[in-house]
Chain A
Amino acid sequence: MSERLRANKFLFGNDGMKSPRNTKLALAIGAPVLALLAAFLITSLVLILAGDDVGGVWGQILSFPTHRGYVNIINSATVYYLSAVAVAIGFRMNLFNIGVDGQYRVAAFAAAVVAGEGWLPGYFNTALAMVAAVLVGAAWAGIAGLLRVTRGVSEVISTIMLNAIATALVAYLLRKAAVENPGSNITATKEVPEGSRIGGFTLFGDVPATVYGMVLLAVAVGFAYWFIINKTRFGFDLRATGASETAAVSSGINVKKMIIISMLLSGGAAGLVGLPLLFGNDYAYGSTFQSGLGFAGIAIALLGRNHPIGIALGALLFAFLDEQSNPLQILLDVSPDIVKITQGTIVLTVVIAYEVVRRYGVRIEQRRVSSALDDEPATEGASA
């Protein structure tokens, strides 16, 4: 799996020379734009084949959102963002944490139970629940890390299994922890006490919907991610291990330790994913708690190329597509699930586009190096 996602791990945070800098920038922006166009094209093709109103669908999706829509987009982007950062931490290390999906559900459940019990007053209770979420998420991911370093079990397979185990475990525990809720057939944990909930920001006076207070958490996590990965020794070790495990070992990095730590960090970040929902919207963990966020996170991390700003844009795009497609059923009798095709296709096209661009970039650079050193055409490397 050594080649995986290595492409341009180091690209960002790279000054570049004057003219190559522009080329690099153009390539970095060109790839996702191309990918989006391709995905829109493919989606349109599906719509045409199915006989749906293509123009109408895009007209609705690409229109300006309502005020309420803006709020919803920011809110769901917040949750997507946390999930994608959790995935990206693993990616940077060449670890494929497919298990964010399970990790955030186990963690959100634990947080909901802790917060629901209300052992501490007010925001202390919130903080305790957050700590619980991070610890549980980290522990759940840590199982995969431990299996990888002690038994050599691929984290891809173990996290797939752990996702399914999480589903069953949470269903079981939820039944135990559930409170009677007359008038509803939804099983859920105790509600978070009023004083421990996180209020929202009012963005528009004319709609009651508010932006999750936890959006600040997402911003902080994004900053911490950027800082740790790009500015610290630890981050360097992590990126170096992801770029070449063999070179990392020779440079004195304890790779096993790095695998455990980065799985714990990834799982800890995954633990935060459900919290904006828990403290800003649902106030309890129930059988209807939003699922599938982990897989969206994988897609968004790939789209945003593991870069904190790129991920933010990707999260907003996914949230935008979700929100704008909602009225399709009512307006045009088209299932809003059509945007899932778009979202899934983006994952493929964006990866292809980045790879094409990467190869092109490497070729340009090699040509530049050899033309800068026109004294001798190097012959070595030809046999590589």
Chain B
Amino acid sequence: MNSTITSQDIVVRLRDIGKTFPGVVANHDVNIDLRAGTVHAIVGENGAGKSTLMKILYGVQKPDSGTIEVNGKQVTLLSPADAIAAGVGMVFQHFMLADNLTVLENVVLGAEKMHGIGDGARKRIAEISKSYGLDLDPDVLVEDLGVGARQRVEILKVLYRGAKIIILDEPTSVLVPQEVDELFDNLRDLKAEGLAVIFISHKLDEVLSVADEVTVIRRGATIDTVDAKSVNSRQLAEMMVGSELPNPSTETSTVTDRVVLEVKDMNLPGPSRALLTDISLTIHAGEILGIAGVEGNGQAELVESIMGIRHGATGVVALGGRDLSHASTRDRREAGIGYIPEDRQRHGLLLDAPLWENRILGHQTREPNVNGPLIDRAAARKDTQRIIEEYDVRTPGIDVLARALSGGNQQKLIVGREMASDPVLLIASHPTRGVDVGAQAAIWSHIKRARRDGLAVLLISADLDELIGLSDTIRVILRGKLVGEFDPATVTPAMLGSAMTGADA
């Protein structure tokens, strides 16, 4: 398939790269050729091993096997310094910037010998900033910059060091659509200058719009490299998953007319602009309400305000007619809200506690975990065992620390726990993010089953197929406002996409 591209020079050649962490194979049999003057996308599911591979190429991790050639010479990259010397630069998914230092200081750090740390450097930064349209003032503190500008600082850092090979790890995940467009313009400029860009993403439409070649990674290994013009996103997705995509197909409606959750006129002020504006929504028993939106448009704030975790929101939150606007998080949970948080490791689990203690978390005032003011250890353990069996949590036992489980099994435990106390409302934030396909299908079927039993679900997801497949109603959130309502039976991802970016608002 890749026979169409032969003309350019290969600048990076990865052969048979392998890397194993204790108990986990992160990469094996990875083979990639990167050509000058191209954007080469690497796609794969969350956890497929993309980030580890890039850390290997940037010298942060050492491969256990395989060879790396840069510009025809085999290299050993033991540290980022080695990679930089070889002309490789990396823009990390989570920005590697010191907030309390200026743009200049962040850029020259580690490369002070090139142009000093004073006016020489300042001049050089201005030049690069101008020629690539980065629009950055060297003497501003990074903490005063927005997300898009911070990413440009990262790119500036790489260019300042004269890198010819630039790795961008999930660069669009934090950007709003206009910023994505600006970024892609910047990438085309880089390409025109003969630089090679590695673009890591799992957003296939973006990949197809900017990349020349696409390499698919699945379970740590490269599956194939294809010409971006010759594939569509459905084909890519199937290569990523390795089979027909599991489809969260909608079933017959179970929506009742009994209102479970009612949010009225919720407003949440923020430091510079409002985080939530006039949010009103209703979820009925047996209904799944999906919220679509580009990340960072108020989803997290909405969920946390409904849960009572974030304070400061005005308006009414009522559950089954009971006003919970001023209730504590615990009261809200006791009133029947189950919660699958977005970041399961930080918000959903005690990583260094055994599974049965994690079973108690969030339910420490309820049966079967407690007996008056005391913890009922035996009953909690028994119920944990039940969850493990019913929800197919793969673990040797309930005394294993939560940290030792894989992401999918951690998530299944959380789902089982939240379902255990018969909630009337489930708030599920990205419930299948970063879990394997098997766990994803299992979690979907649990949610659907609970819906049939009359559960109301608020589903937040960045996966549009998941939203369309599961939801009874989809609403779109943009800059803290609910801007559109769609029927999943008729909506397409493209329609949702343009609503999410405000194109047709």
Contact = CB atoms under 8 A, between A and B. Distances in A.
B2 interface: no
A372 interface: yes
Given A16-B399, A250-B339, A382 B22 contact: no
A233 B365 contact: yes
A381 B51 CA distance: 11
A363 interface: yes
Interface in B17-59: 19, 21-27, 46-52
A382 B26 contact: yes
A366 B23 contact: yes
Given A367-B23, A381-B24, A233 B436 contact: no
B406 A380 contact: yes
Interface stretch (A38-46, A236-244, A310-318): A236-244
B361 A369 contact: no
A233 B374 contact: yes
Interface stretch (A2-10, A64-72, A217-225): A2-10
A335 to B, nearest CB: 42
B23 A380 contact: no
Contacts of B394: 373
B245 interface: no
B354 interface: yes
A288 to B, nearest CB: 43
A251 B309 CA distance: 9
B23 A379 contact: no
Contacts of A181: none
B366 to A, nearest CB: 10
> Which of B339, B345, B350, B394: most chain A CB closer than 10 A?
B350
A124 to B, nearest CB: 30
Contacts of B405: 369
Interface in B328-372: 328-334, 339, 341, 343, 345-354, 357, 360-365, 370
A26 interface: no
A10 B396 contact: no
Contact of A10 (B328, B350, B374): B350
B22 A366 contact: yes
Q: How large is the interface on B (under 10, 10 to 19, 20 to 34, 35 or more residues)?
A: 35 or more
Contact of A381 (B47, B334, B343): B47
Contacts of A239: 353
Given A231-B374, A370-B23, A254 B51 contact: no
A246 B51 CA distance: 25
Given A370-B24, A380-B435, A236 B49 contact: no
Interface in A291-328: none
A368 interface: yes
B408 interface: yes
A123 interface: no
A7 B401 CA distance: 12
A252 B401 contact: no
A267 B423 CA distance: 39
A233 B330 CA distance: 13
Nearest to B372: A233
Interface in B370-395: 370, 373-375, 394-395
Given A243-B350, A363-B22, A379-B220, A254 B364 contact: no
Given A367-B23, A370-B23, A6 B352 contact: yes
A377 interface: yes
Interface in A344-384: 362-363, 365-373, 377-384
B219 interface: yes
A365 B401 contact: yes
B89 interface: no
A28 B394 CA distance: 27
A223 B349 CA distance: 29
B25 to A, nearest CB: 5
A329 interface: no
Contacts of B349: 244, 247
A254 B328 contact: yes
Interface string A1-39: 000001111100011110010000000000000000000
A252 B365 CA distance: 10
B396 A378 contact: no
Contacts of B220: 379, 382
B482 interface: no
A371 B395 CA distance: 10
Contacts of A249: 309, 329, 347
> Which of B363, B394, B434: most chain A CB closer than 10 A?
B394
Nearest to A377: B25
A342 B396 CA distance: 42
A143 to B, nearest CB: 24
A383 B51 contact: yes
Nearest to A11: B352
Given A236-B375, A366-B404, A383-B52, A247 B436 contact: no
B162 interface: no
Contacts of B374: 231-233
B5 interface: no
Contacts of B50: 383
Contacts of A362: 401, 403-404
B307 interface: yes
Nearest to B407: A380
Contacts of B339: 250
B133 interface: no
A378 B352 contact: no
29 contacts: A7-B352, A14-B354, A20-B399, A230-B375, A233-B365, A233-B370, A239-B353, A240-B361, A243-B353, A244-B346, A246-B347, A251-B362, A252-B334, A252-B364, A362-B404, A363-B22, A366-B24, A368-B396, A370-B24, A371-B23, A379-B24, A379-B220, A379-B436, A380-B47, A380-B435, A382-B21, A382-B24, A383-B26, A383-B46
Given A240-B353, A380-B407, 16 more contacts: A10-B401, A236-B364, A243-B352, A244-B351, A251-B363, A252-B328, A362-B401, A363-B22, A366-B24, A367-B22, A368-B404, A369-B404, A373-B395, A378-B23, A380-B435, A383-B50
Interface of B: 19, 21-27, 46-52, 219-220, 307, 309, 328-334, 339, 341, 343, 345-354, 357, 360-365, 370, 373-375, 394-397, 399-401, 403-408, 434-436
Closest 3 CB pairs of A and B: A380-B47, A252-B330, A382-B26
